[in-house]
Amino acid sequence: MRGWGVANVDTVSTPAERFAAAKLRNAHPMTREFLLTFDFEFDPFQIAACHAVEDGSGVLVAAPTGAGKTVVGEFAAYFALSLGKKCFYTTPIKALSNQKFAEFVAKFGEEKVGLLTGDTSINSEADILVMTTEVLRNMLYAGSSTLKNLGYVVMDEVHYLADKFRGAVWEEVLIHLMESVQVISLSATVSNAEEFGEWLGEVRGNTQVIVSEIRPIPLYQHVLIGNRMMDLFEKPGQINPEILQREREAMRRSSLGRNRKGRYSEPSERLSRADIIEKLQRESMLPAITFIFSRVGCDAAVNQCLQAGIRLTSPEERIEIIATALKYTANIAADDLEVLGFAQWLTALERGIAAHHAGLLPSFKGAVEDLFQRGLVKAVFATETLALGINMPARTVVLEKLVKYNGEAHVPITPGEYTQLTGRAGRRGIDIEGNAVIQWSPTVDSAAAAGLASTRTYPLRSSFAPSYNMSINLISRFGRERARGSLESSFAQFQADRAVVGLARQIRKNEGAITELLEQAACHLGDFIDYASIRREIKEVEVLLSRRDHKKTFDNRQRGRLENDLSDLRKALRNHSCHSCNEREEHARFAERAGRLNRENEGLRTRVDARTNVIAKTFDQICQVLTHLKYIEGEKPTAQGKILTKIYAESDLLLTESIRLGVFDELNAAELLSIVSCMIFESRSAENLAPKMPNPKVSAALLEVVSVWAQLEAIESEYGVKTQREPDPGFCWIAYKWANGGSLQSVLKGSDMSVGDFVRSTKQLVDLLNQIAGASEKLRPVCKDAVKRIDRGVVAYLMGDL
């Protein structure tokens, strides 16, 4: 039986409730045993979720950042081991997988825990496997033997399914996991947890929804105007009036300094980043994370603190910091460390200051995370990627701005993003309170800030859409019709159907009103609806003819035709039987209102059609493209389609078509990985439109790939499918040099690419080359050679001693 249940477990107050809770605890021996392995008392929501797992139910845990959701996932692993079952723990990012792997090794032992990410495999047949969500999705499609004896799957940060680029993977896993597997979903606090839980009940069976909205550490909101830090709220929901007054004063002063473009200058009293860190240190508000939505800004902030001579550490702490930094970088060559700016990085670390962003080498980020968790690094300047699940709680979170660049424009951060960012404030078991500090500037609206701070939840919206790889894998497993049906089980369709219910309700309501209006518009002399239709046509023609720019709109012949039409319509109106009715105008009012509702219903029906079976329609369009290209015939994939089932890249179809057409057949290892890189790389700017190419063979191959992309774009447009991203050759030359043994310094020379971006792109390339090797026997030897050439140095070194 499919089902779901909701429990809000923040309060257990009456004697009867306490007795029932005690009885429940005694009924769950494994939960009791698990609790004894911790030196702190569990919250009611954690106990309730563990009980649900022990009872054999799926569970969705929705709780604030830092509330301790992950112990429920740990219990699932603990329980699985006791039953002799496997447990998979999935995360959205490799950094979080690495961190969770290290924690599980410490808790359960090295022999029982493994790690699987796109480029790393450690103890892959262990009973507890930590992995990125994509790895599990790929296992399901491949029918991997590793799935044997799987009993539990923990989906950490499951709200990531809203991500427009990767979110679909979470739904693929939830829909296609074996029914025997219990799923433990861990989510940030979302306002529609019950809706999500109901969908989980539909696709996974009995699912308990455990919601807690209480932060374990209270969060206090502040605004920093100049050197003065004030509480954002005077009382719940009411902005501190002193902030509004000081905001007006600061605005007056800054408006006097507007530049020629009319933009506000920064107030002269606005504190520098270094000043803020010193202020937080004086007020015992460190450690702190300052979120700056730019990598350059994070690095600049560290330099500003160094120039200001800030030191946040003791001599003893500095010794510990140096030892940790050396441990994390022990396998990196001295020449590479120089390119990485190791000396300056270590100087900042010694002082308790660091940056954290995607441009840093994973080992550098790992050291920063380790030192911050231990309280040795006290000030971190980070981009928002740090907010995604990594265990780095602080006493204080500072936001410099409430807008960020989303890749297309500067947009306000959402309540959900604000909740994720400020959720880092307050360390359980250490702090009695957490602090969120918004630094005021003329672009910060205190009312908007109050709105963000007051909205502690946000709705979870599906971003699910079928891809080529997803579609052909489902066809391969289930056949076309069953595959189509499985996609209709998605959360996206579930939400669309709910919206359709509301639209359909409005259509029915309108139809009832239309019936009543038409009854009141009825005329004993004839068909008044026909009469009203003639009146409406007359009005439309009169509007056309009355346009002041009619000379530009019509030639004389068109105008003449319209005038003749108008004359005929007026004659028909006068001759109509209802024209002589004494209640004609009253009938007309009712008929016009009925007409407006009819037109409204037409629009509503269009919206219903657009949302009904929207996922299945997209799947049908993709199948049309795949049939056109002969990737599927009837209910089964062709030989070429089977290659596509093993390619999971964003440019899956483009890569598979390039393989089919022999674009890569004459390339050596360095040339192959160079050209394949254009399908995984995306330049951070559009400035380098014609990057340097390694040699004529790679240039020719690139022209062929672009030609294939153009042909696919035309076919996709014909069938209404969203086109794949154009190949980006911005990494070709760098990848080629690295494959030919170039040093890190020589490879990045003349490029603005950070080492972190280089390592990440190269690791993606390793993953994709391994996929090609698994899909194409002909290209397998050259792919394996290519992987050996690039999986070296800073690329091969993961992140310290896991």
Rounded-to-integer distance, Cα 257 and Cα 455, Å = 34
| Residue 612 pLDDT > 80 | no
Residues contacting 395, CB < 8 A, separation 6+? 285, 286, 287, 288, 425, 426, 427, 430, 431, 434, 435
Tokens of 542: 């009169």
Contact 587, 578 (CB under 8 A): yes
Q: Are residues 253 and 335 in the same domain?
A: yes
User: In which residue are the tokens 């056309």 written?
Assistant: 544
Can you tell me whether residue 109 is helix, strand or coil? coil
CATH number, domain of 720, equals 1.10.3380.30
pLDDT band of 86, cuts 50, 70, 90: very high
Rounded-to-integer distance, Cα 219 and Cα 432, Å = 9
| Residue 548 pLDDT > 50 | no
| Residue 461 pLDDT > 70 | yes
Q: Are residues 199 and 240 in the same domain?
A: no
231/120: higher pLDDT: 231
Q: Which residue range(s) make up the domain with 650? A: 646-796
CATH number, domain of 166, equals 3.40.50.300
Q: Are residues 72 and 201 in the same domain?
A: yes
6/770: higher pLDDT: 770
Structural domain contains residue 598: yes
Rounded-to-integer distance, Cα 33 and Cα 35, Å = 6
Mean pLDDT for all residues in the chain? 86
Peptide bond into 287 cis (omega under 30): yes
pLDDT digits (tens, 9 = 90+) for 632-677: 998 889 999 999 999 998 999 999 999 999 999 999 999 999 999 9
pLDDT value for 800? 36
pLDDT value for 578? 87
Structural domain contains residue 697: yes
Structural domain contains residue 631: no
> Burial level of 463, CB count in 10 A (0-12/13-18/19+)?
middle
Q: Are residues 93 and 179 in the same domain?
A: yes
Structural domain contains residue 475: no
pLDDT digits (tens, 9 = 90+) for 130-150: 999 999 999 999 899 999 999
Contact 286, 280 (CB under 8 A): yes
Structural domain contains residue 356: yes
Annotate 147-186 with b (16+ C-beta within 10 A) or e (fewer).
beebbbbbbbbbbbbbeeebbbbbbbbbbbbeeebbbbbb
Q: Are residues 84 and 186 in the same domain?
A: yes
| Domain's final residue, options 567, 591, 611 | 611
Tokens of 438: 């918004």
pLDDT value for 431? 82
689/124: higher pLDDT: 124
Q: Which of 332-336, 374-378, 598-602: highest mean pLDDT?
A: 374-378
Q: Are residues 364 and 497 in the same domain?
A: no
| Domain's final residue, options 424, 454, 484 | 454
CA angle (345 as vertex; 340, 351 as ends), nearest 5: 175
Q: How far is CA 248 from CA 192, 243, 255, 265, 406, in A?
A: 38, 8, 10, 15, 30
Q: Are residues 331 and 255 in the same domain?
A: yes
Annotate 684-721 with b (16+ C-beta within 10 A) or e (fewer).
eeeeeeeeebbeeebeebbebbeebbeebeeebeeeeb
CA 712 to chain centre: 27
Structural domain contains residue 459: no
Q: Are residues 176 and 249 in the same domain?
A: no
273/687: higher pLDDT: 273
Can you tell me whether residue 435 is helix, strand or coil? strand
| Domain's final residue, options 191, 211, 231 | 211
Three-state SS string over 20-73 comes to HHHHHHHCCHHHHHHHCCCCCCCCHHHHHHHHHHHCCCEEEEECCCCCCCHHHH
Rounded-to-integer distance, Cα 377 and Cα 116, Å = 29
Beta bridge partners of residue 221, listed in sequence order: 436
pLDDT, average across residues 629-633: 94
Q: How many domains does the chain have?
A: 4
pLDDT, average across residues 224-245: 83
Q: Are residues 194 and 277 in the same domain?
A: no
pLDDT digits (tens, 9 = 90+) for 202-215: 889 999 999 988 88
Backbone torsion region of residue 341, taken as left when φ is above 0, otherwise alpha when ψ lies between -120 and 50, otherwise beta? left
pLDDT digits (tens, 9 = 90+) for 417-440: 888 888 888 877 788 889 999 998
Q: How far is CA 308 from CA 305, 459, 749, in A?
A: 5, 43, 30
Q: Are residues 749 and 682 in the same domain?
A: yes
Structural domain contains residue 801: no
CATH number, domain of 584, equals 1.20.1500
Q: Are residues 669 and 576 in the same domain?
A: no
Rounded-to-integer distance, Cα 592 and Cα 47, Å = 61
Rounded-to-integer distance, Cα 314 and Cα 241, Å = 41
Share of residues in the chain with pLDDT > 90 (%): 46
Q: Are residues 27 and 92 in the same domain?
A: yes
Interstrand relation of 182-187 and 150-155 (parallel, antiparallel or unpaired): parallel
pLDDT value for 2? 37
Structural domain contains residue 286: yes
pLDDT band of 799, cuts 50, 70, 90: very low
pLDDT value for 676? 96
